[in-house]
Amino acid sequence: MKLSGKVAIVTGAASGMGKAIAELFAAEGAQVVVSDLRVEGAQTVVAGIESKGGKAIAIAANVAKEEDVQQLIDTAVSEFGTVDILINNAGIMDNFVPAGDLTDELWDRVFAINTTGVMRTTRKVLPIFTERKSGVIVNIASAGGLNGSRAGAAYTASKHAVVGFTKNVGFQYANLGIRCNAIAPGGVSTNIGTTITAPNPFGMERAMVGMGLNPRAGEPEEIAKVALFLASDDSSFVNGTVVTADAGWTAY
């Protein structure tokens, strides 16, 4: 098993890609901290993992709150002794709102979860990783973090920021045995669409222009396999980069 003896934290793991990652990591031998704003959903994922002989715990955490991030990492360490792998998966959409219609409230909310949350969890685990001279971080970015109009302005900017943060951390901590990479999924069948409540007509029309080029939607399990590669020693020479997983959508 590729993650035998490892401790992995997965944020936003009650459903979608986070759930698939948590389940695959557990099947590969990791002890998994299933973190989500919706603890009931996280507990359901844990029950499923345990029913197959895996080991996991559920922790309620809002990555937009510093105290929740602190508790998340501290609880993981107290339960499992350390942290080896951090998967920053929690994220929300932005209703395709274009720059001219953006509010400070929407901008701040999207960045708090999609970007600042990634920074805070990373900041919290780095002392653990640097002390042991090992550790892996995988950030779930987006095709929207590589291109200009796969979503609204706030989401696009937030995911571009995640890409830059990933590259910075990957290079700066490389000599300390730490790797940090990102995955840029294209369209994946998850429930992140539930965070789209009132799409902006203009912004959505502009963002949808390229959808006809998308070969197909992905499944969460397909992204989980990429995360497993990046979290395991199979990718020991991969650092500070972004792996695009989109069936070729952005290759056009």
* CATH code of residue 241: 3.40.50.720
Q: Answer whether residue 210 is part of any domain.
A: yes
Q: Is the confidence at residue 193, as pLDDT, over 80?
A: no
Residue 1 counted as domain residue: no
**Half-sphere exposure of residue 73, counting CA atoms within 13 Å on the CB side?**
24
Task: Look up the domain containing 62 and give its range.
Answer: 7-251
> Is it the case that residue 192 has pLDDT exceeding 80?
no
Which of 155, 165, 173, 249 is the catalytic position? 155
Say if 34 falls within a structural domain: yes
**pLDDT digits 0-9 by tens, 22-75:** 999 999 999 999 999 999 999 999 999 999 999 999 999 999 999 999 999 999
pTM, rounded to two decimals: 0.97
Per residue in 128-138, pLDDT (tens digit) is 999 999 999 99
| Overall domain count for the chain | 1
| Residue 155 is a catalytic residue | yes
